[in-house]
Chain A
């Protein structure tokens, strides 16, 4: 099989990192695992082309993210359950991080994605704009709104402290 070793090495090097990023975006580890594996399978089908990209990992992240979003769209009733009621179990996660997952779930998906790409994947505003297909101004606004919504939980975002203020979902 041509390039199989190459693909396997790439998978070993990036798959877990991608699961971490998608997990931060979805709050559901099983969903993140499934989406990332599905994305890698799609990558393997067109591997000669994908491996030639400047950043194949970005392609995989976009595809994995789309897979999760599509699965939500296909089952809107389950999406509702996901956002308001169903909280996948996260055994072994510290209370701080459980609170963070919970807070991330409460902000709109585009803001969550921008926050994760910027603060976890280390992407610049321009890179996020390219990856999400949104103008840089929109990305900046999403980051600002996301940070504002998370401020009660994260002190470094909190420039106007409001102890105990609930995290509210700002509009996209």
Chain B
């Protein structure tokens, strides 16, 4: 192998450098300010934030902690329905991580409602994220063509989207970033089911 190991690792880091999507420093500072206000008991401070729509419909837990969504959902006492008791319809909660990811991409409650209306499963949403990304790559910012990887094709096939779902998605005016963020948020079936709309 002609390349040294350090050169290979540098190649990996270069890949990350080229492909990483990082928020501007100002956005991070603003997030810290929001978290601080929230910690100080300013529930009202939450209102007006980018995550407002999602937070209102789904609730927000564990501010400031990057928690895998499935774990938080399973820990949440409200996510496990009690037999025989009437459950509120909007009880699924988003983790701070999910809220941040969705808010960063400006995903609205209406965007999520579209996915719910289509009865997409979390797996299908993830595949959708891959499909949108792949589509973006095919078009390419410079108009150049790019072939899909086997993994990308497999993920789309695995999603088993129906023709009706694909057609309906065509009418939904979501950006690639929004779809990718929704896929990345890794919403559970319970969170999706609890959506209003």
Contact with A along B3-32 (1 / 0, CB 8 A): 111101111111111011111011011011
Asked if residues A75 and B68 are in contact (CB atoms below 8 Å), the reply is yes
Q: Which of B46-96 contact A (CB under 8 A)?
A: 66-68, 70-71
Q: Which residue of B lies closest to A155 (CB)?
A: B1
Asked if residues B68 and A32 are in contact (CB atoms below 8 Å), the reply is no
Asked if residues A37 and B16 are in contact (CB atoms below 8 Å), the reply is no
A21 within 8 Å of B by Cβ?
Answer: yes
Please measure, in the bound complex, the distance between the C-alpha atom of A23 and the C-alpha atom of B3, giving whole angstroms: 20
Most buried by A among B6, B16, B22: B16
A29 within 8 Å of B by Cβ?
Answer: yes
Please measure, in the bound complex, the distance between the C-alpha atom of A40 and the C-alpha atom of B11, giving whole angstroms: 24
- Chain A interface, DSSP helix/strand/loop, else mixed: helix
Most buried by A among B3, B4, B13: B13
Q: A1-B29, A92-B19 are in contact. Are A24 and B9 (CB under 8 A)?
A: yes
Q: A24-B13, A92-B19, A116-B9 are in contact. Are A34 and B97 (CB under 8 A)?
A: yes
Q: Which of A24-64 contact B (CB under 8 A)?
A: 24, 29-30, 32-38, 40-41, 44-45
- B184 surroundings in chain A (CB, below 8 A): 30
Q: Which residue of A lies closest to B101 (CB)?
A: A34
B164 within 8 Å of A by Cβ?
Answer: no
Q: Which of B84-143 contact A (CB under 8 A)?
A: 97, 130, 133-134, 137
Q: Which of A77-91 contact B (CB under 8 A)?
A: 77-78, 87, 89-91
Asked if residues A75 and B66 are in contact (CB atoms below 8 Å), the reply is no
Question: CB within 8 A of B13: which of A20, A30, A36?
Answer: A20
Please measure, in the bound complex, the distance between the C-alpha atom of A37 and the C-alpha atom of B17, giving whole angstroms: 14
Question: CB within 8 A of B22: which of A19, A23, A93, A97?
Answer: A19
Asked if residues A44 and B152 are in contact (CB atoms below 8 Å), the reply is no
Asked if residues A97 and B151 are in contact (CB atoms below 8 Å), the reply is no
A154 within 8 Å of B by Cβ?
Answer: yes
B149 within 8 Å of A by Cβ?
Answer: yes
A8 within 8 Å of B by Cβ?
Answer: yes
Question: CB within 8 A of A150: which of B5, B17, B151?
Answer: B5
Asked if residues B66 and A71 are in contact (CB atoms below 8 Å), the reply is yes
A141 within 8 Å of B by Cβ?
Answer: no
Interface hit among A10-18, A126-134, A163-171: A10-18
A160 within 8 Å of B by Cβ?
Answer: no
Asked if residues B29 and A74 are in contact (CB atoms below 8 Å), the reply is no
Asked if residues B149 and A37 are in contact (CB atoms below 8 Å), the reply is no
A156 within 8 Å of B by Cβ?
Answer: yes
Please measure, in the bound complex, the distance between the C-alpha atom of A71 and the C-alpha atom of B35, giving whole angstroms: 20
- B15 surroundings in chain A (CB, below 8 A): 20, 23, 90, 92-93, 97
- A154 surroundings in chain B (CB, below 8 A): 1, 5, 8
Which A residues fall within an 8 A CB radius of B?
A: 1, 4, 7-8, 11-12, 15-17, 19-21, 23-24, 29-30, 32-38, 40-41, 44-45, 67, 70-71, 74-75, 77-78, 87, 89-94, 96-97, 100-101, 116, 119-120, 150, 153-157
A sample of 8 cross-chain residue pairs with beta-carbon separation below 8 angstroms, ordered by A number, consists of A19-B17, A29-B19, A30-B184, A44-B28, A74-B71, A77-B70, A120-B13, A154-B1
The 4 closest A-B pairs by CB, nearest first: A20-B13, A75-B68, A11-B25, A8-B25
